[in-house]
Structure 1
Amino acid sequence: MPGVPRRPAWTRRVPGVPRRPAWTATLTWKAAVFITLMCCALAALLGALVHVSVTRQTVDASREKALARLEDVTRAYEAGEPLPAFAGVDPVGLPPSLRALATGGSRGTMVADHGGRPTMWAAGPADGRALAVRLDYSLSARTISGLDQAILGSSVLAIAATLLVGSFAVTRVTRRLHLTALVARRIGAGDLDARVGDPRTKDPSRPQDEVATVSGALDTMASALQGKLLAEQRFTADVAHELRTPLTGLSAAAELLPPGRPSELVRDRVRALRALTEDLLEISRLDTGRERVDLDVYALGPLAERVARASGAGARVRVVRDARVETDRRRLERVLGNLLANAHSHGAAPVELTVDGPVVTVRDHGEGFPAYLLEHGPQRFRTESGGKGHGLGLTIARGQAAVIGAELVLANAPDGGAEARLTLPEYVDLTAEDAPDGT
């Protein structure tokens, strides 16, 4: 659809792929996952090294003991002496691979189950057959199993302790980062007194980490910005106040001029200069952020019609659905009057004012708002080259809309023309009882 902004390709969701929870993008979660993975990898590596080392030592010791017994049994077999109970020729349970190795003329050992118990076998050649001894390997197997359990348990405890300590340390950092971000948002919203106030930045003798450096830079920037804005506000207010006195005398002198075209031009310029001065005074009051509102409940349709008639420019008024709003009538009339004046001055006829519930839309059929205004909002003393005005009308409209709790959105209509949409807080009478006819 025209006029509807499209989502960038890199932010589009793939159909069928669920969206990840928001908490998975936090620094605490990423640090916890990283710490857990690193601890698991380290525990697995150390556990494997210890397991292999202990298992090798245990198996080597059992193998040497089994081979030593095989030597004794071999001497007894060659001497024709009876063999002990743990030895025999081609005994039952001897692993086939070890039997084949022994009948092939070599000696070897192997761990295998015998009678449901782990057993270390040692076998060697004996007249074309296999002479073998067995050694109980249960104790060594239990030792290795217990070691593996101990490694696993200690690894879990170490990972849990490391994760707990790491999460505590990361949470302290992220808490300070969240505080810095909160202060930055407050400054962006207009609270120029907001400061992070990190104690590490107040004491030069204390070492500063990266978060403290960012916090200190934000506080310094906020202080510099506040100083510049206060200086600008004072300058605007002082200039406007200083201009009122000579303008009053100039206006009185202009009225004394004899009738004629030059006199009309002088009076017209004096009126424009007076209007500019009043606008500057109003902006300076809005900049202070201390404006008080006189709230009351009004029917929006009739109020908008009165403003359109008072503008004297012939705007078309259409009430789709009337609504009752709680607002400051004087400030709302100022906002609507400025929007209509801007549409007539910078747009093209017809200019339409539409009331649809608590939403008032002022639209013209000109070239639309310039790109800089849509991107950055109204800016005082900036208009398109060749345009009329000083860029104060929309600035005042936006400021007064914020004072009365309304939302002003500037956009260009899909089929051409500028469109200003003002959304007001609708009044809901919670004490009124529902009548049968719905009134």
Structure 2
Amino acid sequence: MVRLALRTGLRWKVSAAIALVGALMAVALSLVVHNAARHSMLESNRDVQVERLAITLKIFAQSNRLQFGAKIDDPSLPKPLKDEIAEGEQATYVQDNGDNAPEVWAATPLGDGRVLSLHDPFLDRFAVLDDTDQALLFGFAGVVLAGSAVGVLVGGRLSKRLRKAAAAAGKLAEGDTAVRIRDEVGGRVRDETDDLAWAVDAMSDALQQRIEAERRVTADIAHELRTPVTGLLTAAELLPPGRPSELVRDRAQALRTLVEDVLEVARLDGYAERAELQDVALGEFVSRRVRSLNQDVTVEVVRDADVTTDPRRLERILGNLIANAARHGKPPIEVTVEGRVLRVRDHGPGFPEHLLREGPSRFRTGSTDRAGRGHGLGLTIAAGQARVLGARLTFRNADELTDGSTGAVSVLWLPENAPTNTGSFPVIQLPDR
């Protein structure tokens, strides 16, 4: 089941939150003001009707004339008002007329059992209430717009700082250990973004120190082993001919290769390696090197290209990829040159899932059929040398063939420009292949 996630910027979330809070406050305030104004107006209208009723009653008693549209025993007199008058008391009543202005009634009993009443909707006064509601509506819109603008400004500044922090973290992940997120974020006012930046910088320093310590220990151990292993290999050459002597020389040579590979990995991990650049015709270079490495590997130059790279490091990458294909894959092994793209493919079981997911790891091959051959540093060295060249090395499995095998495909993407001083990755658009 695929869950779709809606991605929105932080500035719009903050803006929406501020606008929503402002809208809720504006609505609540508008309701309070509207109800208070309506209640005050109704009470004022009641008082006016009571005064009119008193004047009408006085004039009616003197001249038997009615004022302000008053009536005696009005048939439309509301029943709640009739009930109040039945108790012999003067009363007022507000009759709701739906969307129209309410009728304000005032009535009083006469001495002969009749009822004097008058009513008025006070349309002019309730028009003022409509104007008040309209003003509140404009105020509501202004609050929402102002809140949105403030949210965009506040959220935009916070979002910009977070984007700078993310970009700096990306540089850090690519190996630029000199970058400091706090310096990239900037700003004079300290907030949670600065706390996050300080924490990530501290974590980066701690990890870098640990990695550097491990690299130095590895390099020191390998360097200290180099001399005795060289002596062991020299001594093995002096042994008398025979199968035991061959086994000793073979294991000593394997140990020497391992020590040299560990030293190379330590140098690559230190980001101190620099490429010695030359102009190379890639197709001719690969064809010549492959013939010297393995005669059984086929080379196809689909499209040649001139590249600026380090031939020694490129040969090291090519040799490790071919050696890995020969050790863990199945023939035929094919090398294809297509412009600046170099592919090495075998027809074996393919790369293990952990390598496709995490990339090559030292001392881990994931192969169950290699009978103890190899130490898992070949692809690690190839990836490190590709970084020094400013290239990108990717791994995938080919589509399944008719015989059930898939095949492992290693693809080296050489940059159009010379690598940077730090050997950073170029931006390469990967085609769908």
> TM-score of the superposition, structure 1-length normalised?
0.76
Correspondence for 2:299:
317
Q: Residues 143 and 285 (structure 1 numbering): CA distance in 2 closer, same or farther, change over 3 Å? A: same
Deviation at 1:345, TM superposition (A): 0.9
Read off the aligned partner of 1:36 and give its amino acid letter.
A
Q: Residues 47 and 359 (structure 1 numbering): CA distance in 2 closer, same or farther, change over 3 Å? A: same
Correspondence for 1:101:
77
Q: Residues 289 and 103 (structure 1 numbering): CA distance in 2 closer, same or farther, change over 3 Å? A: closer
Question: Secondary structure of 1:10's partner?
Answer: coil
Give the Cα–Cα distance (whole angstroms) in 2 for the partners of residues 387 and 248 of structure 1. Answer: 23
The yes-or-no answer on 1:38 pairing with 2:14 is: no
Provide Cα deviations, 1:142-197, integer angstroms capped at 9, x if missing partner.
Answer: 54245334534554555555555555555565455444434433332223344444
- Residue number among 400, 404, 412 corresponding to 1:422 in the alignment: 412
> TM-score of the superposition, structure 2-length normalised?
0.77
Give the Cα–Cα distance (whole angstroms) in 2 for the partners of residues 81 and 297 of structure 1. Answer: 121
Unaligned runs of 5+ in 1: 1-7, 13-19, 91-97, 113-117, 199-207, 429-439
Give the Cα–Cα distance (whole angstroms) in 1 for the partners of residues 319 and 78 of structure 2. Answer: 108
Correspondence for 1:396:
381
- Residue number among 136, 160, 185 corresponding to 2:170 in the alignment: 185
| CA contact 1:62–1:120 (8 Å) conserved in 2 | no
Read off the aligned partner of 1:9 and give its amino acid letter.
V
| CA contact 1:298–1:326 (8 Å) conserved in 2 | yes
Deviation at 1:232, TM superposition (A): 1.5
> Aligned-pair RMSD on alpha carbons?
3.7
- Segment drifting more, 209-218 vs 269-278: 209-218
Question: Secondary structure of 2:236's partner?
Answer: helix
- Residue number among 41, 50, 68 corresponding to 1:58 in the alignment: 41
1:358-437 mapped onto 2 (5 Å cutoff): 358-384=340-366, 385=368, 386-415=371-400, 416-426=406-416
- Segment drifting more, 47-56 vs 123-132: 123-132
Deviation at 1:324, TM superposition (A): 2.6
| CA contact 1:74–1:131 (8 Å) conserved in 2 | no
Give the Cα–Cα distance (whole angstroms) in 2 for the partners of residues 355 and 99 of structure 1. Answer: 104
1:272-291 mapped onto 2 (5 Å cutoff): 272-291=254-273
Provide Cα deviations, 1:107-150, integer angstroms capped at 9, x if missing partner.
Answer: 756699xxxxx897647699999964658652x33542453345
Question: Secondary structure of 1:383's partner?
Answer: coil
Q: Residues 130 and 316 (structure 1 numbering): CA distance in 2 closer, same or farther, change over 3 Å? A: farther
Q: Residues 11 and 81 (structure 1 numbering): CA distance in 2 closer, same or farther, change over 3 Å? A: closer
Q: Residues 417 and 277 (structure 1 numbering): CA distance in 2 closer, same or farther, change over 3 Å? A: same
Q: Residues 65 and 213 (structure 1 numbering): CA distance in 2 closer, same or farther, change over 3 Å? A: same
Provide Cα deviations, 1:67-103, integer angstroms capped at 9, x if missing partner.
Answer: 431343245345544444x43659xxxxxxx962379
The yes-or-no answer on 1:10 pairing with 2:15 is: no
Correspondence for 1:203:
none
Q: Residues 332 and 104 (structure 1 numbering): CA distance in 2 closer, same or farther, change over 3 Å? A: closer
Correspondence for 1:115:
none
Deviation at 1:307, TM superposition (A): 2.1
Number of equivalent positions: 391
- Residue number among 344, 348, 357 corresponding to 2:339 in the alignment: 357
